[in-house]
């Protein structure tokens, strides 16, 4: 039987970093395959994980909780047959609904080939209040359905950590919350733990009905499809992504200038930016979250970047990046 671990978290929370940590310290002797789901078309994190000598299956330009459901199920079955891994680590899109993905995994438990071992959510304490206020339905879903919650950016300080822990506990009374730096958390904490009541309810209704589970009945779109679990809209109805293919090589200073111009002047709200671009001295990778831009050299191929947010105008963003506005 293959154990599945879901690594959830909002945009830029640190999911890919956590996977690298778990592979290095928790599953170092295990046969692992990673399923990487990027909401945008540019699979930046896939390349980063492959640099760690991991087998990675990429599902891009959508969310496996809604538009890529069939692709996800097929990918799991193909991975089981082709690689026979002991562990499958699933990194959903940062705007993915953990409830929907967990339900899919529990449905596959009926085959006897898979078991959903852990649902882990990474919470960035820097933006907890902001994201809870602005994107509460998606954000709460990731917290409610987790049985292990890990805090990121603990360097913000003990006051912020205590506040986040208390606020998270009001949303999920059962999950284990870890505020320590991930390398110092015992491996046993990651490996197993009891399912919370939200997942148990999904599991029970799935077992009784063997039909798609909905917390409330009657919410159907005009095209006949059911909205997401816990009555959430599809991610594509709230969030959008803009992918840019870079032409000429960029220096670090030029890349920084272009990204900040987009972030400051674009309509809507940019929640995440990432990409790999060519420079005269090699390649550069950049990661943007509100208030933070990291650019560093990387030994990876690529020349594409992606912005994710709400109310984005792709034509405007490309023009801003290229200096045409």
Looking at the structure, do residues 28 and 72 belong to the same domain, yes or no?
yes
pLDDT at 69: 60
The mean pLDDT values, 10 residues at a time, for the chain of 325 residues are 93 90 89 80 58 67 54 85 92 83 88 94 93 85 94 86 94 93 91 86 66 38 40 61 88 94 95 90 90 89 88 95 85
CATH number, domain with residue 32: 3.40.50.300
254 lies in the same domain as 301: yes
Q: Choose one of 189, 209, 229: the last residue of a domain.
A: 209
Among 212, 206, 319, CA closest to 262:
319
Q: What length does the chain have?
A: 325
Burial string for 88-106 (b: 16+ CB within 10 Å, else e) reads: bbbbbbbbbbbbbbbbbbb
Predicted confidence at residue 5, as pLDDT, reads 96
Is residue 220 assigned to a domain?
A: no
Are 7 and 15 in contact by the 8 Å Cβ rule? The answer is yes
Domain match, 104 and 246 both: no
Statement to judge: residues 303 and 157 lie in one domain: no
Handedness of CA 277, 305, 5, 183 (dihedral sign): positive
Q: Which of 194, 5, 3 is nearest to 92 (CA)?
A: 5
- Dihedrals φ, ψ of 324, to 5°? -95, -5
* Same domain, yes or no: 259 and 167: no
Q: 3-class SS at 324?
A: coil
Give the residue from 209, 229, 256 where a domain finishes: 209
Q: Which residue has the tokens 């809209």?
A: 233
Q: What is the mean pLDDT of the chain?
A: 82
The enclosing domain of 309 has a CATH number of: 3.30.1220.10
Whether 216 is in a domain gets the answer: no
Structure tokens at 121: 């959510």
Considering the domain architecture, whether residues 32 and 163 belong to the same structural domain is answered as yes
Structural domain includes residue 224: no
How many domains does the chain contain in total?
Answer: 2
Question: Do 183 and 135 have their domain in common?
Answer: yes
Whether residue 20 is found in the same domain as residue 117: yes
Number of H helices, E strands in the chain: 11, 12
Q: Is 267 left (phi over 0), alpha (psi -120 to 50) or beta?
A: beta
- Residue 311 is assigned to a structural domain of this protein: yes
pLDDT, position 156: 74
**Are 172 and 271 within one domain?**
no
- Final residue in a domain of this structure, among 187, 209, 231: 209
Which are the contacts of 151, defined by CB distance < 8 A and separation ≥ 6? 122, 123, 125, 161, 164, 165, 177, 178, 179
- The Cα–Cα gap between 226 and 219 comes to 6
**Whole-angstrom Cα distance, residue 91 to residue 12?**
12
Residue 98 lies in a domain: yes
The pLDDT value given to residue 237? 64
Query: What's the Cα-to-Cα distance from 72 to each of 50, 230, 238, 307, rounded to whole Å?
Result: 19, 20, 21, 23
Instruction: State whether 109 and 33 are in the same domain.
Output: yes
Q: Are residues 171 and 278 in the same domain?
A: no
Domain of residue 201, residue span: 2-209
- In a domain, residue 203? The reply is yes
Angle of CA points 94, 95, 97, to nearest 5°: 110
DSSP letters for 8-22? EESTTSSHHHHHHHH
Each residue's pLDDT tens digit, 203-220: 776 665 554 434 333 333
Q: In this structure, are 194 and 263 located in the same domain?
A: no
DSSP assignment of 271-297 equals EEEEEEEEETTEEEEEEEETTEEEEEE
Considering the domain boundaries, does residue 233 fall inside one?
Answer: no
Burial (CB < 10 A; 0-12, 13-18, 19+), residue 188, is exposed
Asked whether residue 132 is domain-assigned, the answer is yes
pLDDT at 52: 58
Give the predicted TM-score (pTM) of the model.
0.79
């Amino acid at each position: 039987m293959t154990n599945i671990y879901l690594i959830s978290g909002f945009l830029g929370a640190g999911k890919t970093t956590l996977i690298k940590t778990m592979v290095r310290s928790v599953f170092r002797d295990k046969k692992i395959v990673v399923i990487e789901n990027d909401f945008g078309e540019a699979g930046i994190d896939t390349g980063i994980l492959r640099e760690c000598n991991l087998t990675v299956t990429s599902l891009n330009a959508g969310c496996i909780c809604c538009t890529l459901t069939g692709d996800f199920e097929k990918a799991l079955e193909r991975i089981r047959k082709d690689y026979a891994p002991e562990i499958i680590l699933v990194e959903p899109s940062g705007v993915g609904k953990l409830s929907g993905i967990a339900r899919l995994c529990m449905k596959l438990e009926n085959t006897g080939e898979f078991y959903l071992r852990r649902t882990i959510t990474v919470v960035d304490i820097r933006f907890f209040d902001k994201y809870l206020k602005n994107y509460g339905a998606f954000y709460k879903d990731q917290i409610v359905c987790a049985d292990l919650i890990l805090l990121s950016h603990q360097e913000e300080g003990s006051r912020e950590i205590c506040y986040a822990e208390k606020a998270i506990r009001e949303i999920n009374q059962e999950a284990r919350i870890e505020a320590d730096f991930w390398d110092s958390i015992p491996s046993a904490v990651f490996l197993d733990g009891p399912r919370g009541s939200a997942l148990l309810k999904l599991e029970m209704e799935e077992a009784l009905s063997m039909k798609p589970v909905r917390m409330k009945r009657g919410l159907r779109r005009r095209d006949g499809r059911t909205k997401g679990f816990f009555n959430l809209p599809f991610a594509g109805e709230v969030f959008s992504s803009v992918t840019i293919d870079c032409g000429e090589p960029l220096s670090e200073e030029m890349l920084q200038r272009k990204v900040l111009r987009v972030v400051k002047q674009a309509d809507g709200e940019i929640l995440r930016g990432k990409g790999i671009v060519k420079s005269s001295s090699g390649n550069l990778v950049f990661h943007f979250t509100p208030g933070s831009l990291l650019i560093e050299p990387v030994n990876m191929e690529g020349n594409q970047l992606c912005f994710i947010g709400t109310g984005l105008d792709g034509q405007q963003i490309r023009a801003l990046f290229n200096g045409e506005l």
